[in-house]
Amino acid sequence: MNHWNLSDEKQSLENDPVLLEINTYDRGHYYGHLFRSEGHANFYFEANSGYFVRYDRDFNLDPEYEDYNLCVEENLNIIRELLACIVDALDPLSVKVFTGSGSYAPFNSHATYFANPKAFITDLQMIYDYWIGNFSPYYQGEPKPYQDSDPVAAWYQFNGMRSAEQRKELWEDFNAWLIMREEVTSEVVYDTWDVKQSVEDGGLDIRRTKQGGAFVFGSEHFFNSFVSDVYLHALNIAYLVNKDKIELKIQELEAQNWQDELDRLDDGKFES
């Protein structure tokens, strides 16, 4: 990684080193009980170590910031290479890329590696547990369930890099679609990864691996975006796959509700 000194006249490299801190711990370590949410290893770049976010959020390269964004792209390529090296060397179940601007919930990751569909489905279960307030498998404490949070005020849970409107939309989407989580199978996950998307138009950057996994980047310039849509796409596909069965179940429930009401009337409870 490089530090740069950018001015109106030139782009020059700084000589300051960028530190990469590596922490690993097993379940016997005092930090190891967090392995379900924090993993077994942490690769951490010190704050302010170069540039990672494009200055223009809409990806329209303004000539005024061209040098800055070239620096961003160089660092992003290094991060991609580092992720590939970690996966090749350690064969992890999952790797996620976070910043300090939000909680370590899977939908706040900027880039995620899934070794297989099981890793993806495990993430969905974690999101659901956070949503209903089942935090005990992940960490201690009694925070408010995400479903009861105000996504505008609770900016950390839904990541402060998102706008207030984006946090609200994310909260509404998961409230609506998490009911489909149990219908997300390995086949649904593979279908999700194979959906053709236009990265230029803001779609996810998904790269399948020969081993049956996938790298999912929020976008080409992934620190400007999140992978949250990959989970929502899977939930939507699960609904489409099971639409007929779900609609039949709804009809059965409605019929049962009518029958329950008729039984109540037959019991004489309507006399008054």
Min mean pLDDT across 28-42, 84-98, 107-121 is at: 28-42
pLDDT at 50: 67
What pTM did the predictor assign? 0.84
Closest to 78 (Cα-Cα) out of 223, 225, 224: 223
Q: Which residue has the higher pLDDT, 10 or 95?
A: 95
Confidence of residue 12 (pLDDT cuts 50, 70, 90): low
Strands annotated E in the chain: 3-6, 11-14, 20-24, 41-45, 94-97, 111-114, 205-208, 214-217
Tens-place pLDDT, residues 181-210: 999 999 999 999 998 888 877 889 999 999
Tens-place pLDDT, residues 205-260: 999 999 999 999 999 889 999 999 999 999 999 999 988 887 887 788 788 877 77
Closest to 118 (Cα-Cα) out of 247, 212, 207, 29: 212
Tens-place pLDDT, residues 125-153: 999 999 999 988 888 766 789 999 999 99
CA–CA distance, 160 with 114 (Å, rounded to integer): 25
Percentage of the chain lying above the pLDDT 70 cut = 84
Rounded alpha-carbon distances, angstroms, from residue 61 to 54, 64, 225: 9, 8, 16
